[in-house]
């Protein structure tokens, strides 16, 4: 299962630099902001004079490898294009074609020639360049972690076959231009992805824009190449980050220049920082945030959260500590009713947690992360009963009891909504006792004295004589 990490950002610093200073910042840092290289600028007083500009080149040489420096081009009023330009079948064919292009050299022009031989349009050139890079260039985890930045020129990236975000962006821009396309590098802030980024309040990532038929499209070859899991890069081609819809990319990619959001009403940095970490599955599965719109949640010992999801989408949740360690699953309860999703969470002790919302469609076996919240719990909550796959699959709603442990030798009242079930039973496994619940429509109820901690609720559905476990108490 793909994991996503979201790195918290600090509040944006105010800048006292002049317009000349901002120009120097763009030229000197470029996309290398993702490495935290601000040695020269941070040593300067606020504001720059014209005389100081003449010293910039020499100063840069003293603190950084010039081979890693790039500039970001500003375009006047870029017009966003329509991302859906060809079918999924055509895109898959182009991705397979790119995978079959064999090239082991270091010349961008030679690689471009191979791509031109199989491309029939500018759209195909742009897609093939993205697909080739993301399937052949690995993410350099060690470079990202150590910040020991090597040569990121396109020729060097081709030679080494691994790089960081700046190198991906440099190579895509160079390859696109060799294919006759106009392309730019976009520097900004990235969050929520499986790549190691800095915590700079302004810049920690780089991606691209490409112009086709006088319209601009956004792409990120770094995030399209795969993911970092336990310190190791794993290739996993992701088409989502080619020609991504601007309203989708902006939740994880905030450009320094607001024009590169390609939105009629751009997000502010505050809005971006406050968004929960949203992945492509958030958009694929048609989620909508209802009760909690921002990533930071402060609560007591428990939490109720509501969402909406698309048709036939199954949703579960899990808790992690801030260090990424999983909290036992019984501290979350996910309930799906049509497109309405209710998430309940309880906390074993006060502290800071991550609440992860995961989803899948009916044809998938694996749940993928769609949303992540940061939760500050001030109290302690009761864990929930254990639920099984049949609980989510049949959109069961557990009304009571909602606590995992039931008091022994006392009566507990059971109430569940089980759409489509013919029978629902309480199963005392220790005593081998089966007690049917009373049915009223889709609601099943009953009161039972609990004599054993090993109690389950199971349901029978039409066309099958088996009873499927829904809920288990301890």
pLDDT, one tens digit per residue, over 120-140 is: 999 999 999 999 999 999 999
Please count the helices (runs of H) and the strands (runs of E) in the chain: 15, 27
Residues 6+ apart with CB under 8 A from 110: 103
In whole angstroms, give the CA distance from residue 250 to residue 194.
17
Question: Which pLDDT score, from 0 to 100, does residue 150 have?
Answer: 75
Q: How far is CA 314 from CA 145, 357, 415, in A?
A: 36, 11, 22
Identify the weakest region by mean pLDDT among 109-113, 142-146, 365-369: 142-146
Ordered structural domains, the chain, with CATH = 19-272 (3.10.620.30), 284-384 (2.60.40.1220), 387-473 (2.60.40)
Between 114 and 66, the more confident residue is 114
> What's the confidence (pLDDT) of residue 229?
83
Written as six digits, the tokens of 317 are 């949740």
Is it the case that residue 244 has pLDDT exceeding 80?
A: yes
Dihedral angle sign, alpha carbons of residues 40, 41, 43, 44: positive
Task: Find out whether 221 and 134 touch, Cβ atoms under 8 Å.
Answer: yes
CA separation for the pair 315, 216 (Å, rounded): 35
pLDDT of residue 193: 60
Name the least confident of 72-86, 175-189, 273-287. Answer: 72-86
Chain segment 383-434, per-residue pLDDT in tens: 999 999 899 989 999 999 999 999 999 999 999 999 999 999 999 988 889 9
For residues 218 and 244, give the distance between their C-alpha atoms in angstroms, rounded to a whole number: 6
Q: What is the pLDDT of residue 201?
A: 62
The answer to which of 23-32, 205-214, 302-311 has the lowest mean pLDDT is 23-32
Per-residue pLDDT averaged across 196-217, rounded?
Answer: 82
pLDDT given for residue 68 in this prediction? 47
**What is the pLDDT confidence band of residue 197, given thresholds at 50, 70 and 90?**
low
Instruction: Provide the token pair at 438.
Output: 């009373």
Q: Report yes or no: 317 and 347 within 8 Å, Cβ to Cβ.
A: no
Bridge partners for 423 per DSSP:
460
Residue 328 has pLDDT above 70, yes or no: yes
Element (H, E) at 70: none
pTM confidence score: 0.74
Lowest mean pLDDT of 183-187, 188-192, 254-258, 409-413, name the range: 188-192
Per-residue confidence band for 14, with pLDDT thresholds at 50, 70 and 90: very low
Average pLDDT of the chain is 83
What confidence tens digit (pLDDT) does each residue in 430-457 have? 888 999 999 999 999 999 999 888 899 9
Confidence of residue 176 (pLDDT cuts 50, 70, 90): very high
């Amino acid at each position: 299962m793909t994991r996503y990490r979201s790195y918290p950002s600090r509040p944006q610093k105010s800048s006292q630099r002049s317009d000349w200073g901002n120009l120097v910042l763009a030229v000197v840092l470029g996309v290398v902001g993702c490495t935290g290289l601000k040695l020269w600028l941070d040593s300067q007083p606020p504001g720059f004079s014209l005389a100081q500009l003449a010293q910039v080149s020499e100063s840069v040489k003293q603190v950084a490898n010039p081979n890693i420096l790039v500039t970001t081009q500003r375009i006047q009023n870029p017009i966003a294009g329509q991302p859906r330009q060809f079918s999924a079948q055509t895109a898959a064919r182009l991705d397979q074609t790119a995978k079959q292009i064999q090239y082991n050299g270091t010349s961008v022009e030679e690689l471009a020639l191979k791509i031109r031989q199989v491309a029939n349009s500018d759209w195909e050139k742009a897609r093939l360049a993205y697909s080739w890079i993301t399937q052949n260039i690995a993410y350099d985890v060690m470079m990202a972690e150590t910040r020991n930045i090597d040569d990121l020129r396109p020729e060097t990236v081709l030679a080494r076959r691994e790089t960081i975000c700046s190198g991906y962006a440099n190579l895509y821009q160079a390859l696109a231009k060799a294919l006759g396309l106009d392309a730019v590098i976009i520097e900004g802030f990235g969050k929520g992805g499986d790549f190691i980024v800095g915590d700079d309040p302004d810049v920690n990532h780089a991606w691209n824009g490409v112009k086709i038929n006088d319209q601009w499209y956004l792409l990120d070859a770094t995030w399209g190449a795969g993911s970092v899991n336990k310190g190791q890069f794993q290739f996993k081609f992701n088409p989502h980050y080619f020609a991504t819809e601007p309203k989708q990319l902006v939740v994880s990619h905030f450009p320094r220049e607001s024009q590169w959001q390609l939105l009629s009403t751009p997000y502010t940095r505050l809005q971006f920082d406050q968004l929960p970490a949203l992945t492509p599955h958030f958009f694929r599965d048609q989620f909508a945030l209802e009760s909690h719109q921002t990533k930071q949640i402060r609560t007591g010992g428990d939490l109720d959260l509501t969402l909406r999801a698309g048709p036939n989408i199954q949703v579960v949740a899990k808790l992690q500590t801030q260090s990424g360690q999983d909290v036992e699953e019984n501290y979350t309860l996910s309930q799906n009713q049509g497109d309405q999703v209710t998430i309940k969470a309880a906390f074993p002790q006060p502290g800071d947690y991550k609440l992860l919302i995961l989803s899948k469609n009916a044809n998938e076996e694996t749940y993928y992360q769609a949303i992540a919240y940061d939760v500050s719990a001030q109290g302690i909550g009761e864990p929930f009963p254990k639920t099984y796959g049949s609980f989510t699959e049949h959109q069961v709603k557990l009304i009571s009891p909602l606590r995992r442990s039931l008091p022994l030798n006392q009566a507990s009242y059971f109430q569940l909504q089980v759409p489509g079930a013919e029978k629902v039973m309480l199963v005392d496994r220790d005593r081998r006792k089966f007690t049917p619940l009373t049915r009223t429509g889709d609601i099943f109820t009953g009161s039972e004295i609990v004599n054993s901690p090993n109690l389950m609720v199971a349901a029978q559905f039409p066309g099958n004589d088996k009873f499927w476990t829904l809920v288990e108490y301890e």
